[in-house]
Amino acid sequence: MALDMGKLNTLMFRMLVELGAAAVGSLVLLGDRLGLYKALAEDGPLTAEAFASKLGMHERYIREWLHAQAAAHYIEYDAANETFSMSPEQAMILADPDSPAALAGGYWGVSSLYQDEPKIAEVFKTGEGLSWGAHSACLFCGTEKFLGPAYRANLINGWLPALDGMVAKLRRGAKVADIGCGHALSTRLMAKAFPQSQFVGIDYHQPSIDHAREVSKQEGLTNVTYEQGSAQDFGGEDYDLITYFDCLHDMGDPRGAMRNTLQHLAKHGICMVVEPEAGDNLTANMNPVGRAFLAFSTMVCVPASLSQPGREGLGAQAGEKKLTEVIKSGGFTRVRRATSTATNMVLEARP
């Protein structure tokens, strides 16, 4: 087959762009860790010298970091005055962790992908899985940092109101189980918003449960408890709401999870499944969101599923059609898309 130099050069240029983005990601971590974005957003425009002096850091390192950020167009550079600053849009994405557009936290999860690559290389050869707990700890904090902005922006004011009659129940006092809660940001957000309701966060990863308990204690929450357990064997009865936030696709036996969920729901209870936004086939997922989620799926989600009994391996881009089939296989008869955002779909399942 003849080599098309035009296609070759186009692909090479694209890969160079990607290589630069991958390299600059380490500098995003530095900026987030050291508070560089926040400081520049608050006090810019500043020269490199003035910025380093304000931070009490070494000017030569700060200058190179600023140059790299400007070259990536993550910050602004005024050549006439040799000053650096951040536009409101840049600050919203990189300097404010509570912004609904915040993305800096996601780079912590990306760092775990690189750290864990040798482990994934091995399971590619053996077909074995790699459990959630076997990953770098950066994945755990990175997941919370990345998912947090969307949860804070949408969970209380958008996702729960999209479930028929659920907010009224929660205000009166409902019983809720949050399955696969991880660090339990979702559990805590609901517990704070609905103090009359009782919440239990359940996750099979004990260190995450320990972290969730400590944070809830610090926040003074008295209407939430935590248990170590799996989605296939958690207990309790007559839950008004059982939730799965970005975790059903990670499970080895999601069908068993749905069967167990149905057994523990109240008569008119609801199961809410929040999953990454995805199309039903590869072509529909060949876009920027699909590209990011498929990378995480390859390195985290599929290995986690293949490490558990069942080994279904749904992956983060399973799509609504497949997820609906899985949910209904557990005995649910009504499944609908309640709402969605650019990165998540929210499915409501009823008996």
Torsion of CA 167, 169, 174, 178, to 10 degrees: -30
> What is the pLDDT at residue 126?
97
Work out the end-to-end distance of the chain between its first and last CA atoms, rounded to an integer number of angstroms: 56
User: Using 50, 70 and 90 to split pLDDT, how confident is the model at 155?
Assistant: very high
Other C-beta atoms closer than 10 Å to the C-beta of 58 total: 9
| pLDDT at position 87 over 90 | yes
Q: Which residue has 């920027």 as its token pair? A: 288
| Angle at alpha carbon of residue 281, lines to 279 and 285, rounded to 5° | 55
| pLDDT at position 144 over 90 | no
Residue extents of the structural domains in the chain: 5-94, 154-350
| pLDDT at position 137 over 90 | no
What is the number of helices (H) and of strands (E) in the chain? 15, 9
DSSP per-residue codes, 215-232:
HHHHTT--SEEEEE--TT
- Give the span between the Cα atoms of 123 and 129, in whole angstroms: 6
Phi then psi dihedrals of residue 239, to 5 deg? -75, 135
- For the segment 189-214, the average pLDDT, to the nearest whole number, is 96
Give whole-number Cα distances, 332 to 227, 235, 335, in Å: 25, 19, 7
Tens of pLDDT, residue by residue over 171-185, are 999 999 999 999 999
Length of the chain: 351
Tens of pLDDT, residue by residue over 242-287, are 999 999 999 999 999 999 999 999 999 999 999 999 999 999 999 9
In a 13 Å sphere around the CA of 74, the CA atoms on its Cβ side amount to: 25
| pLDDT at position 325 over 90 | yes
| pLDDT at position 142 over 90 | no
User: Using 50, 70 and 90 to split pLDDT, how confident is the model at 138?
Assistant: confident
Q: Which amino acid is at 82?
A: E
- Give the span between the Cα atoms of 209 and 217, in whole angstroms: 12
Higher pLDDT among residues 100 and 156, named by residue: 156
Percent of the chain, pLDDT > 90?
A: 94
Which residues pair with residue 198 across a beta bridge? 175
> What is the pLDDT at residue 60?
98
> What is the pLDDT at residue 140?
86
In 160-238, DSSP assigns E strands to 175-179, 198-203, 224-228
Sign, CA dihedral 192-181-158-148, equals positive
For the domain spanning 154-350, the CATH number is: 3.40.50.150
Tens of pLDDT, residue by residue over 89-114, are 999 999 998 898 999 989 999 999 99
- Give the span between the Cα atoms of 305 and 132, in whole angstroms: 9
CB neighbour list of residue 9: distance below 8 Å, 6 or more residues apart: none
Tens of pLDDT, residue by residue over 26-84, are 999 999 999 999 999 999 999 999 999 999 999 999 999 999 999 999 999 999 999 99
In a 13 Å sphere around the CA of 28, the CA atoms on its Cβ side amount to: 26
In a 13 Å sphere around the CA of 104, the CA atoms on its Cβ side amount to: 23
Q: Which residue has 């557990």 as its token pair? A: 330
- Give the span between the Cα atoms of 224 and 231, in whole angstroms: 18
CATH number, domain 5-94, options 3.40.718.10, 2.40.37.10, 1.10.10.10, 3.40.50.150: 1.10.10.10
- Give the span between the Cα atoms of 144 and 122, in whole angstroms: 27
| pLDDT at position 1 over 90 | no
Tokens read off for 189: 């957000």
Beta-strand relationship, 265-276 and 344-350: antiparallel
| pLDDT at position 221 over 90 | yes
| 316 in Cβ contact with 238 (< 8 Å) | no
| pLDDT at position 141 over 90 | no
